[in-house]
Structure 1
């Protein structure tokens, strides 16, 4: 995903003093980590993480209190206390961090750093989804109050291919001949030969390792390489919008200074950059939970506009049927009444009336587009707000919560990454929560406080 403009118009990733847990002060690194804030299944997952360790990072990213303001101030007070008690401590010098995740055959490696924030018109960082204003406001208030980037965004770019990356967890070559990589890929590969700063295995079975990169030559290689690239936001659109809002707030109250402009340290945001030419991401679906809509009423409203048939069998079989149907057109799986109902073959005249026609054909045909424009807005008439719709990454959790609450789970089929990337290149955003790229970085392994920059 290279840019064609001058090198100084690409990505600019700088070292920072990572804020990390002190292993001797916590039960285990695994016990204090968390999935990203929007992946935590609430309330069950939240309570589980809170009870795993009194210092679990969820107390910072999802603090619990009576009001939003109290939640944010509680997170700030907790962060300040953990720093004072030595539970968290900044690294002694600024660094970029090589980060590895591994589970079975899934291997992902990238670089964590502070990315200079760019305006959308610059085309350096490409979003592909819309955001919800209330979520951005909440995240901005949390980051503003804590003065910290508590979890990295996941960004992808297409680097140069120099041969296969090394595979085993030891970091040794896999046995296949490969040309030594250069640029950022070379820095990542060379880090594997050193002892990591930390290793841990989280509950989801992923093994995590982290290395600090401080050598000036290595830092220069990364800087020169990334300056030729643009990136796609794979995960973290609301956090990216939050970064931009806080940058603009601080730029408006300060004079020009520093390489990131008037915003100073607020002109950068914590990100994980993955080169998908070497480490392709997985693309998964984000499902909808419609709280006030029973399955029976949802199905009745579809009469005459979609084909509906009940799938006899367990969830994997139903998801297989969804995949088959999605290969030929829009398809959804409804659940919540103890069964699964495949919804597909929408009426073309209905789509023509409800889906806007001033967007590319690929956008008009997205399942998420049809779900929101046709089903939610027109057929079911459900407002897209947190009171009526929840977004869940875990398929079984979506089904369970629908059955528990008497609502309807709308299970989605994932969008191909090439479709996402091409729409982003055209400047077209997809409906919010259309995709879930992964594996996502574990929250809590490294954070960034603007007070240490």
Structure 2
């Protein structure tokens, strides 16, 4: 069950998604075995002062330490080892709450490994982004169910929500809508039946009733469709067009397209101690794996 904390227990680092203990254990074993972090956590914060921005504008006038183009995105890395510049960059950070935009399982793995006295995992490699100056892209993560027939999915969904055919085919979901797709057909799914939703989210935070990922995963996947918790039963796609293409052929399964939420809403929930379901959000662009490493060396 997602953990809820008091607003009085506000911390500098705010997670916003729940994690899987099994995945945390896997990440911890991987990081411990490598004695390295291959990529930083992605943290989003809002700066009230411009000092850090002024320093960064000065730093990026220097030749970069590395440049890499990955999946159509150019990543440029500069080194800053001047003590005065570092002090200016970090002086205002302690007054800001940073949202974990990406890397919840890696952060939880660091916390797990850091419980040992003297552990080097009490610290973590991180990329902080001032989203006032450099807004991150926030998109949804869609569900693809290879073993579920779309006509059957639409029929069963109609038992717990309002389902309408979309004769013009799939489209971007509205704020309180899911779009069901498969074999060239599409349906709009809205207005969950209140009692069914309450039962599906029993013991979950009440705020989950308005979260698309909670409605998707608990009301539809778990309750209406009884999708088994087995490897490959659900795939996650960050690209809606690709998700639709994956189920275009008859017999290829069903895709469920989710709407994106807003960073403001994510922060509201995080500050209230409400963790969203896993795979609720996708912040980007993410730093390229291997561009910045934290290598601990031999034990």
TM-score (norm 2): 0.88
Classify 1:450/1:191 alpha carbon distance in 2 versus 1 (closer, same or farther; 3 Å): same
| Residue of structure 2 in register with 1:359 after alignment | 205
| Residue of structure 2 in register with 1:203 after alignment | 71
Query: 236, 256, 267: which is aligned to 1:421?
Result: 267
For the residues of structure 1 that align with 2:135 and 2:202, how far apart are their CA atoms?
Answer: 32
Secondary structure of 1:381's aligned partner: coil
Classify 1:136/1:358 alpha carbon distance in 2 versus 1 (closer, same or farther; 3 Å): closer
* Equivalent residues of 1:266, 1:450 under 8 A apart: no
For the residues of structure 2 that align with 1:334 and 1:284, how far apart are their CA atoms?
Answer: 18
Radius of gyration: which is bigger? 1
Q: How many residues align?
A: 290
| Bigger mean CA offset, 300-309 vs 399-408 | 399-408
TM-fit CA distance, 1:347: 2.0
| Residue of structure 1 in register with 2:5 after alignment | none
Q: Does 1:157 align with 2:45?
A: yes
Query: 434, 437, 440: which is aligned to 2:280?
Result: 434
Secondary structure of 1:212's aligned partner: coil
Classify 1:364/1:292 alpha carbon distance in 2 versus 1 (closer, same or farther; 3 Å): same
Q: What is the CA deviation profile of residues 20-54 of structure 1, one whole-angstrom value per residue up to 9, with x for unaligned ones?
A: xxxxxxxxxxxxxxxxxxxxxxxxxxxxxxxxxxx
| Residue of structure 1 in register with 2:36 after alignment | 148
Secondary structure of 1:159's aligned partner: coil
| Residue of structure 1 in register with 2:291 after alignment | 445
* Equivalent residues of 1:356, 1:364 under 8 A apart: no
In angstroms, what is the RMSD of aligned CA positions? 2.3
* Equivalent residues of 2:41, 2:103 under 8 A apart: yes
Query: 152, 156, 168: which is aligned to 1:297?
Result: 152
For the residues of structure 2 that align with 1:230 and 1:418, how far apart are their CA atoms?
Answer: 13
For the residues of structure 1 that align with 2:58 and 2:202, how far apart are their CA atoms?
Answer: 50
Secondary structure of 1:227's aligned partner: helix
TM-fit CA distance, 1:155: 0.6
| Residue of structure 2 in register with 1:188 after alignment | 56
| Residue of structure 2 in register with 1:370 after alignment | 215
| Residue of structure 2 in register with 1:134 after alignment | 22
* Equivalent residues of 1:139, 1:239 under 8 A apart: yes
Q: Does 1:391 align with 2:259?
A: no
Q: Does 1:410 align with 2:256?
A: yes
* Equivalent residues of 1:128, 1:430 under 8 A apart: yes
| Residue of structure 1 in register with 2:188 after alignment | 342
Classify 1:189/1:314 alpha carbon distance in 2 versus 1 (closer, same or farther; 3 Å): farther
Query: 162, 185, 194: which is aligned to 1:307?
Result: 162
Q: What is the CA deviation profile of residues 360-391 of structure 1, one whole-angstrom value per residue up to 9, with x for unaligned ones?
A: 44x32111121222112221122455442222
Query: 4, 9, 13: which is aligned to 1:125?
Result: 13
TM-fit CA distance, 1:452: 8.3
Alignment of 1:272-283 (within 5 A): 272-283=127-138
For the residues of structure 1 that align with 2:190 and 2:164, how far apart are their CA atoms?
Answer: 9
For the residues of structure 2 that align with 1:223 and 1:199, how far apart are their CA atoms?
Answer: 24
* Equivalent residues of 1:332, 1:410 under 8 A apart: yes
Q: What is the CA deviation profile of residues 391-411 of structure 1, one whole-angstrom value per residue up to 9, with x for unaligned ones?
A: 221223322333467222111
Query: 238, 245, 251: which is aligned to 1:400?
Result: 245
* Equivalent residues of 2:160, 2:224 under 8 A apart: no
* Equivalent residues of 2:35, 2:298 under 8 A apart: no
Classify 1:202/1:373 alpha carbon distance in 2 versus 1 (closer, same or farther; 3 Å): closer
TM-fit CA distance, 1:280: 1.5
Q: What is the CA deviation profile of residues 253-288 of structure 1, one whole-angstrom value per residue up to 9, with x for unaligned ones?
A: x4xxxxxxx21x222111110011211112100011
Q: What is the CA deviation profile of residues 119-152 of structure 1, one whole-angstrom value per residue up to 9, with x for unaligned ones?
A: xx66121111111222222222211111110111
TM-fit CA distance, 1:242: 1.4
Q: Relative CO higher for 1 or 2, CA cutoff 8 Å, sep ≥ 6? A: 2
| Residue of structure 2 in register with 1:380 after alignment | 225
Q: Structure 1: state its 5+ residue gaps.
A: 1-120, 162-180, 255-261
| Residue of structure 1 in register with 2:124 after alignment | 269
TM-fit CA distance, 1:340: 2.1
For the residues of structure 2 that align with 1:275 and 1:332, how far apart are their CA atoms?
Answer: 31
